[in-house]
Structure 1
Amino acid sequence: MANFADWRDRMLQAAWRQGDDFPEGVLEWMSELYGEVGEISGEVFCELWTSRTFSMARAAFQVIEKSVEEETGKQATGEDYCYIDYVRDPDIGPVGVVRIKSVEVSTPDWEEILGTMAEGVQEFVMSHYRIVWPVCENHRTGLHVGYFRGISVWNCREGHSGGHVVRAIDPATRLY
C-alpha cells in the first residue's frame, strides 16, 4: 500500500498535471479524498477531478452573475446566453475543461475558477451589452482579473503605483 504522497503524485500524472505547482485548496481536497476513500484508480480520480471542476465553475458563475446584475442591472444568463461549455475531449486530456467565452480552466481550484468565470462573464458583458464592467470608481477605467495572496481580485491598472487591487471578485471574501 502506497502512502499519500506517492498516490498524490500518481493521480496528478493521471490528470496530466505532473510538475505543476498546485494551489493549497487542490492539495487539501486530494488529501481529504484520500482520507475518505483511500487509493482509487487514476480513471476514477480524473472523473472526480472533472466533476469537482464543473461543480465549482457553476458555483463561481453564480457569484459572478449576481455581481453583474447588482452592479449593472444586466442579466448574464438566459436562453440567449448559453456560453459556458463543459468539454471532455481525450485530445485535451483526461480531465474536462470549462470554457466561458475565450477563457478556460481545468483545475478544481476555487480562486482560479472564480477568476476564469469573472473574465468570461466580463467578456460577455462587454460584447453583448457594450458596457465596461466592472469599473474602478476612482479612475473610471475597466478592471482586470488578478490574484492577491491567493485570492482572485479585480485590479485597476491606473494610479501612481501602476495599479491597485480594488476588491475581491467574491464579495464574501475579505482581503485584509
Structure 2
Amino acid sequence: MSNFLDWRNRMLQAVWRQGEPISEEVLAWMSEVHDEFGEISGDEFCELWTTRTFSMARSAFEVIQKSVFDETGKRVAGEEFCYVDYSRNLESGPVGVVRFKSAEVSTPDWAEVLGVVAEGVQEFVMDYYVTVWPACSRHSFGLHVDYFDETAVWKCNGGPEGGHVVRALDPSIRL
C-alpha cells in the first residue's frame, strides 16, 4: 500500500496536473478525499474533481450574479445569458471543463473558478447592457480579474503604482 503523497501524485497525473502549481485549497481537498475514501482509482477521482468543479461554477455564478444585481440592478440570467457551458469530453481530457465565453477552467479551485465566471459575466454585462461593470470608484476604470494570495480579486490598472486591488470577487472575503 502506498502513502498519501504517492496517491496524490498519481491523481494529479490522472487529471493532467502533474508538475503544475496546485493551490493549497485543492491540496487540502485531495487530503480530505483520501481521508474519506482511501486510495480511490484515477477514474473515480476524476469524477469527483469534475463534480466539484461544476458545483463550484454554479456557486460562483450565484455569487457574481448577485454582485451584478446589487451594484447595477441588472439581471444576468435567462435566454440572453448563454455563456456558461459545463462539458465533459473524454477525448479532450479526463475531467470536465467549465467555459465562460473564451475562458475555461477545469480545476476545483474556488479562486480560479470564480475568476473565470466573473470574466464571462463581466463580458456579458458589457456586451448586453453596454455597461462597464465593475468600475473603480477612484479612477473610473473598468476592473479586471486578478489573483492575490490565492484569492480572486477585482484589480484597477489606474494610479501611479500601476494598479491596485479594489476588493475580492467574493463579497464574503475581506482583504
- TM bracket, shorter-chain basis: over 0.9
Aligned to 1:39: 39
What runs of 5+ residues in structure 1 fail to find an aligned partner? none
Number of equivalenced pairs: 175
Counterpart for residue 156 of structure 1? 156
Displacement after TM superposition at 1:79 (Å): 2.9
Partner of 1:48: 48
- 1:48 alignment partner, SS class: helix
Q: For residue 11 of structure 1, what is the amino acid of its counterpart?
A: M
Structure 1: distance between partners of 2:2 and 2:60? 35
Runs of at least 4 residues of structure 1 off by over 6 A?
Answer: none
SS in 2 for 1:25: helix
Does residue 73 of structure 2 align to residue 73 of structure 1? yes
RMSD: 0.8
Give the alignment of 1:6-155 within 5 angstroms.
6-155=6-155
* Alpha-carbon distance in 2 for matches of 1:80, 1:128: 8
Identity of aligned residues (%): 65
Shift of residue 90 of structure 1?
2.1
CA distance, structure 1, for counterparts of residue 169 and residue 13 of structure 2: 31
Q: TM-score, normalised by structure 1?
A: 0.97
Cα shift readout 1:77-126 (whole Å, capped 9, x = no counterpart):
11332221011112321000000112110000001111111111001111
